[in-house]
Amino acid sequence: MAGCFGVGVMGAISSSAIRYIKLGQGDRWADVSLQRGEIHFGWRVVPHDMCVRGDWGAVQKIALANSKSAGAATRLMREVQNFYTLDEQCLWIAFVAGHMWWSFAKQEVFWLGDKDDHQGARKRKTVDGWHDADIAGQPLLIDHLSSKLTQVMSFQGTVCEVAVPEYVLRKINAQEEPLITESRKIRSELAGLAFKLIQNLHWADFEAMVDLIFARSGWQRIGEVGGNQKDVDIMLEQGATGEKAFVQIKSKANQADLDRSLESFRARAIWDHCFFVCHSPSGLLALSPDKKLHLWTGEALGNAAIRAGLFDWLVERSR
């Protein structure tokens, strides 16, 4: 079964068309299709020779005899026609075992017979197997795909066009959606603006803002903001988990200030997390990788305020 592959192994994917195919009712032909690198298709009542000749009128008559309406018969005829006539540049996709799979198929269709229900009545061989990852090697998980694509799984037939072909190609080519790219850019700009507003806050408002961020994130204060404590500005507790947090707030700080705060944190075993919050650091502040340590400055501090819904609050405090 074809799966993930390394970065740079494949170039960008393009296609002449994209079709979703259901690999048998209840995916009963999925295993044989994926393992052998084949695309299986049913409709055993339709003769193979008739399709090879391209006698689609005759196929239509058979479909009509096995359908409830003329419209349904036309759809069934077109599904068979697609399977036989779409070229090797057609991209085929299927959804199996929590992944989107994709492949290109060779043109020739092989007849498999009408006796074995463990495989289709006919098949096309894939060009290089089925893939369940993008060209960068990241799995194409159904849970990470938009419903504008995955809704095709509710299609009652076997083969159909995909309503969002550009989206499919972007996912396979490991390309970010344009709206997501634009959103990230705008969010970054907004976080930068929020940080500038934060830098203009009075010290008391800055402390109040930090307190609000934690309160709106589910933390409960168990000690006063500020006060006479030398190393701790806010003591917090998570009601759901019981975790305790140590918060140091600085309008200005350098690496030495941060290091001293970390020493105080590590000297007290009661704390599960240490937050160091500074809006105007002197130089670049750095932390060693540790899930217990959190540094909020610059855009990270702006993002924290935005996530807490405090952008309008910041604007009001800046009037």
Q: Which of 159, 175, 191 is the last residue of a domain?
A: 175
pLDDT in tens, 24-65: 888 889 999 999 999 999 988 899 999 999 999 999 999 999
Sheet holding 234-238, edge to edge: 219-221, 234-238, 244-253, 273-281, 293-296
pLDDT in tens, 249-294: 999 999 999 999 888 888 878 889 999 999 999 989 998 888 899 9
Asked, for residue 9, whether it belongs to a domain, the answer is no
Question: Residue 264 in 3-state DSSP?
Answer: helix
Shared domain for 33 and 156, answered yes or no, is yes
Asked, for residue 161, whether it belongs to a domain, the answer is yes
**For the purposes of burial, counting CB atoms within 10 Å of the CB of 269, is it exposed (0-12), middle (13-18) or buried (19 or more)?**
exposed
The domain in which residue 134 lies consists of 17-175
Shared domain for 22 and 162, answered yes or no, is yes
Question: Phi and psi at residue 219, in whole multiples of 5°?
Answer: -90, 145
Shared domain for 161 and 301, answered yes or no, is no
Token pair belonging to 54: 């391209």
Q: Which of 248, 240, 245 is nearest to 271 (CA)?
A: 245
Domain count, the chain: 2
Shared domain for 148 and 201, answered yes or no, is no
184: number of Cβ within 10 Å = 11
Exposure on the CB side of residue 124, measured as CA atoms within 13 A = 27
**For the purposes of burial, counting CB atoms within 10 Å of the CB of 181, is it exposed (0-12), middle (13-18) or buried (19 or more)?**
exposed
Give the burial string for 116-145 (b: 16+ CB within 10 Å, else e). Answer: eeebbbbbbbbeebbbbbbbbbeebeeeeb
Helical (H) or strand (E) element with 181: helix 178-199
Q: What are the E-state strand segments in the chain? A: 17-21, 38-41, 90-96, 99-111, 122-126, 159-161, 219-221, 234-238, 244-253, 273-281, 293-296
pLDDT in tens, 77-128: 999 999 999 999 999 999 999 999 999 999 999 999 866 678 999 999 999 9
Shared domain for 143 and 212, answered yes or no, is no
- Does the structure show a pLDDT above 80 at 20? yes
Q: How confident is the model at residue 6 (pLDDT cuts 50, 70, 90)?
A: very low
